[in-house]
Structure 1
Amino acid sequence: MPRRFRYLLVRHEERPSSFLVGAKQAVGGGLAIATIGGLAGATELPLLLAPFGATSVILFSAPASPFAQPINVLVAYVLATLTCLLFGAFLPPHWLVAASGVAVVMLLMALFRTTHPPAGAIPILLLGGTPPEMLLKTVPPGALCLVLVAILYHALPPSPVQYPRR
């Protein structure tokens, strides 16, 4: 590989302090998604959304990150959902509408200082035919569920994690 591209292969992420800490992160993410899946089965709402998988990775593998803080997760998903409601009410499902929705969500997250990258994917769900009103019933409750599981789970040993940051 040419030398000028080697920097692309450098890892900057620290190793988990132990196997147990890494395993705890993985189990937490799986438990959060399982909780949402259980709620989806009980309520018959399509709560299992792809962006929630990415949110779980951030919440459980990088809980100190600004992107993982409850305010970021909750506000970003609400902003994304409201953007979808507005776009869905006036515009047809089209790739250009989805791209514009992602851009608007990014701008709103920046203005509100609540960036949470997985929330930027919510406008893309409109392309799959998800009714905007359904997003209102699924996205905010799903995001809240993930945050609550993270708060409870991070208090458990081994190595309890301070979450949210104070």
Structure 2
Amino acid sequence: MPRHLLVRHESRHPHLAAHVKAGVGATVTIAAAGWLAGVTHLPLLLAPFGASAVLLFAQAASPLAQPVNVIGGYLLAGLVTLLAHMALPADWWVVGLTVGAAITMMSLARLTHPPAGAMPVVVAGSTTMPALELLAIAVAGAAVMTIYAALHHRLPPRFDYPKRPAPMVS
């Protein structure tokens, strides 16, 4: 196997506390969604939220983890999914087409959030909940996770999240 395929591109964080804090943030977020799901009997534990938690807590500096990308990505992928769900037959090829369309739209809008690209698959796999309700839960869940991440990153070891834009040079 070519050696370059085994090179890690993630920078090493010098403090163990930052790694533990990322795990705690994800644990609290997903556990809270699970608890709320039990109380409300709503499907609040969506598989893409686990991947969003990785980005929000362990890769918070990534453009893919910024609030506009997380919330906007779920919103845009949700809209594409809803349109496809209303206009096209419920068939396997539509799921693939919709994932591709969601990725294209997120990329064009510069709102890419990879976990949101799974929403067409989530909707296709749901037999008990209408697509609109499921997508509303996804967008609301993304917003709540993002708000919690912003608060969580203010705890020591502190991390600047969300990223602030670079100052404009005149």
**TM-score of the alignment, normalized to the shorter chain, above 0.5:** yes
Residue 164 of structure 1 corresponds to 162
Q: 2-side partners of 1:132 and 1:83: how far apart?
A: 11
Q: 1-side partners of 2:50 and 2:5: how far apart?
A: 25
Asked if structure 1 preserves the Cα contact closer than 8 Å seen for 2:49 and 2:142, the reply is: yes
Q: 2-side partners of 1:129 and 1:61: how far apart?
A: 29
Output the aligned Cα RMSD: 1.3
Residue 146 of structure 2 corresponds to 147
Q: CA deviation at 1:15?
A: 2.1
Q: Which amino acid aligns with 1:142?
A: G
Asked if structure 2 preserves the Cα contact closer than 8 Å seen for 1:93 and 1:129, the reply is: no
Asked if structure 1 preserves the Cα contact closer than 8 Å seen for 2:123 and 2:134, the reply is: no
Asked if structure 1 preserves the Cα contact closer than 8 Å seen for 2:77 and 2:119, the reply is: yes
Residue 111 of structure 1 corresponds to 108
Q: CA deviation at 1:21?
A: 1.1
**Size of the alignment, in residue pairs?**
162
Residue 137 of structure 2 corresponds to 138
Q: 1-side partners of 2:30 and 2:13: how far apart?
A: 22
Q: CA deviation at 1:154?
A: 0.4
In the superposition, the TM-score normalised over structure 1's length comes to: 0.91
Identity %: 48
| 1:94-135 residue CA offsets vs partner (Å, 9 max, x unmatched) | 221111111111111112111111111111113313531232
Q: CA deviation at 1:144?
A: 0.8
Q: 2-side partners of 1:156 and 1:138: how far apart?
A: 27
Q: Which amino acid aligns with 1:51?
A: P
Q: CA deviation at 1:85?
A: 1.2
Counterparts of residues 1-166 of structure 1 (less than 5 Å): 1=1, 5-130=2-127, 131-157=130-156, 159-166=157-164
Q: CA deviation at 1:47?
A: 1.0
Q: CA deviation at 1:84?
A: 1.6
Q: 2-side partners of 1:83 and 1:40: how far apart?
A: 25
Unmatched runs of 5 consecutive residues or more in structure 1: none
In the superposition, the TM-score normalised over structure 2's length comes to: 0.89
- Structure 1 segments, 4+ long, off by >4 Å, are none
Asked if structure 2 preserves the Cα contact closer than 8 Å seen for 1:64 and 1:165, the reply is: yes
Unmatched runs of 5 consecutive residues or more in structure 2: 165-170
